[in-house]
Amino acid sequence: MSKDAVPTAHPSSTPSKPTPQIVLMIVALMAVALNLRPIMAAISPILDLIQATTGLSDANVSLLTTFPVFVMGLFALLGAYIQRMISEKTGILLSVGLIMLACLSRYWLHSGFTLLLSAVVGGMGIALAQVLIPAFIKTHAPERSGTLMGFYTTAIMAGAAMTAAVSSPLSHSFGWQNFLAMLAIPALLAAVLWFIATRQLADTTQQENSRLPLKSRRAWLLMLFFGIGTAAYTLVLAWLPPYFNQLGWNTTQSGLLLSAVTVCEVLTGLTLSSIIHRFPDRRPLLWLVLSILLIGLLLLIYIPNQFIAFTIIMLGIGIGALFPLTLIVAMDHVNNAAQAGSLLGFVQGGGYMLASFMPLLAGIVRQHSSQLTQAWQIMLVGVVILWIMTFRLKPNSQL
């Protein structure tokens, strides 16, 4: 591990009182996290506006979600190599810079190709941050790692919720290109705050050389489970607002629905963290969560304009609990930090890459059938498959 500047503190059993520098670092970390979803969450509420201007087909416009999620998966697979190549502090600053560049480019570049290219650049920024931030927290605030990871994931979802809520009204007020470019402003503020907060911290790289568990059938099972579960998140993120637009809702209303789902996801994730210790066998909780998600999808498919609040809550609870539960189940299969990093890199990497194709599949479905019902039905089948796969996730299983 290479170091310069101030040495890193060692973990202690009880966190000391946070210094002003630590408080500033936490604020900067939250500011960065708030910027890790807007570039994707802003798209679906204004999808029709983007298509009308760029001429992108349903399949092609879905790539605005597929590309970033795919890159997130690729970088997760290469996480150990990335952490050796670039330092945490500098890499996180670079990640925010890439997000800012991707957003800002949308002010000048309005063609379908350049819009998709900006999605790739933004996805690289998101992926780089998601690889380096957990390592940064582990290095610089090990005694607060659990709390900070909770704040970090909550801030990510909060950024998505806020963006989905304002995407349509601000796009109609300023133009969708200008609105997407305006997302560079919070990224710039986060970059400045990050630079100020971390300028005296040690700049570190990780030297661990862990191998991905490519030969483990259990690892492939966990990766497939995570991928199918995350596909529900990417499908909702990319296509929930357009689905309700086709049902007669305006773009502002449909954006608020996506925002509401995201808020439910955040609250569910926070609640889960406080009760998970009561379930050493995770399967009953998984079956419950999958059943809730199944109910939400059934309502969405067959009576979408009735019980809408209940439908949104069911989707939010199902998706919001399934994501952390899947990672917790994966962690249950390993005994040390090196194995955990290797397994999570494989599970999230392959899982994100698999999940990235669900928005594209939905786009192809809508392009050929002019509706999204079949896409939700495919996801419904996926949830049923997860329900069956859960039988294999017995406690005390190892890779």
DSSP 329-362: HHHTT-SSHHHHHHHHHHHHHHHHHHHTHHHHHH
The Cβ of residue 243 has, within 10 Å, a number of other Cβ atoms equal to 25
CA–CA separation, 187 vs 193, rounded Å?
A: 10
The structure tokens listed for 204 are 């570190």
Task: Provide the pLDDT for residue 206.
Answer: 66
Q: Find the helix packing angle between 217-246 and 373-389, rounded to 10°.
A: 150
pLDDT category of residue 5 using cuts at 50, 70 and 90? very low
Phi, psi values for residue 108, rounded to 5° = -105, -35
For 38: left if phi > 0, alpha if psi spans -120 to 50, otherwise beta; the answer is alpha
Classify residue 358 by burial, with Cβ atoms within 10 Å: 0-12, 13-18, 19+.
buried
Evaluate if residue 7 carries a pLDDT over 60.
Answer: no
In the chain, what are the domains? 19-209 (1.20.1250.20), 214-399 (1.20.1250.20)
Amino acid at 28: A
Q: What average pLDDT does this structure show over 296-319?
A: 96
Radius of gyration, CA atoms only, the chain: 20
Average the pLDDT over 74-80 and give the result: 88
pLDDT at 339: 75
Check whether 180 has a pLDDT greater than 60. yes
Q: Which of 157-161, 183-187, 285-289 has the lowest mean pLDDT?
A: 157-161
Mean pLDDT of all residues in 224-234:
96
Is the pLDDT reported for residue 348 higher than 60? yes
Under the banding of pLDDT at 50, 70 and 90, the label for residue 336 is low
* Mean per-residue pLDDT over the chain, rounded: 89
The pLDDT assigned to 258 comes to 96
Across 15-24, 342-351, 362-371, 390-399, the highest mean pLDDT is recorded for 362-371
pLDDT band at 208 (very low <50, low <70, confident <90, very high): low
Residue 123: pLDDT band by 50, 70, 90 thresholds? very high
Q: For the stretch 256-285, what's the b/e string if a residue is b when 16 or more beta carbons lie within 10 angstroms of its beta carbon?
A: bbbbbbbbbbbbbbeebeeeeeebeebeeb
Q: Examine the pLDDT at 14 and tell me if it is beyond 70.
A: no
pLDDT above 80 for 179 = yes
- Residue 133 CA, distance from chain mean position: 14
pLDDT at 243 over 90: yes
Cβ-based neighbours of 100, under 8 Å, separated by 6 or more: 125, 184, 187, 188, 191
Q: How many CB atoms lie within 10 A of CB 60?
A: 20
pTM, two decimals, is 0.89
Task: Say yes or no to pLDDT of 151 above 90.
Answer: no
Confidence class of residue 11 from pLDDT cuts 50, 70 and 90?
A: very low
The residue among 111, 102, 106, 109 whose CA lies nearest residue 54 is 111
Q: Say which residues have a Cβ less than 8 Å from residue 147's Cβ, sequence separation at least 6.
A: none
pLDDT of residue 337: 61
Mean pLDDT on 308-334: 92
Cα-Cα end-to-end distance for the chain: 29
